Amino acid sequence: MTDKEQEVLEIAMKFMEEHSDAMQQLAEIERKEFYRFFAIDYFATGEGRSYWLMICRNYPFIGDKDRQKEKFQEFIGMGAKHYMHGFEELTEDEFMEKYDTMIPHHVKVQVHRKDQPMFTWQTHLYVNYS
């Protein structure tokens, strides 16, 4: 190894030591899913069946506030507390497998692209069996 190569290697090692916390945080960010996937599958005798689905960007919490989950509760509306008992946050694969037939093709394309800075998709499907 030449003196120049040794010098560059030492600089790189020093940089990695000084910035190891930042590099760890970047690695953690890369492991996080790009989108979050929320669902409620609600069924009650005589009430039919309701599905609430939401796909949104995976933004960091603001303090201890999960703003994306709050938006989901706002979307559900007045009965949010009642329906939230059936709340699930799924991985992308779980969500797509479970709710595939309810998701429009153009939404699946947007999710696959992962380049939409403010992308949010919500739907409420109500099925009455009477």
Predicted confidence band at 16 (pLDDT cuts at 50, 70, 90)?
confident
pLDDT at position 111 is 92
Kindly tell me if the per-residue pLDDT of 7 is higher than 80.
yes
Q: Identify whether the C-beta of residue 106 lies closer than 8 Å to the C-beta of residue 116.
A: no
The 10s digit of each residue's pLDDT in 84-118 is: 888 999 999 999 999 999 999 999 999 998 887 78
Q: Identify whether the C-beta of residue 73 lies closer than 8 Å to the C-beta of residue 80.
A: yes
pLDDT at position 28 is 61
Helix (H, G, I), strand (E, B) or coil at 110: helix
Q: Which amino acid is at 83?
A: Y
Kindly tell me if the per-residue pLDDT of 68 is higher than 80.
yes
Q: Which residue has the higher pLDDT, 65 or 22?
A: 65
pLDDT at position 60 is 83
Burial (CB count within 10 angstroms: exposed 0-12, middle 13-18, buried 19+), residue 96: middle
Predicted confidence band at 47 (pLDDT cuts at 50, 70, 90)?
confident
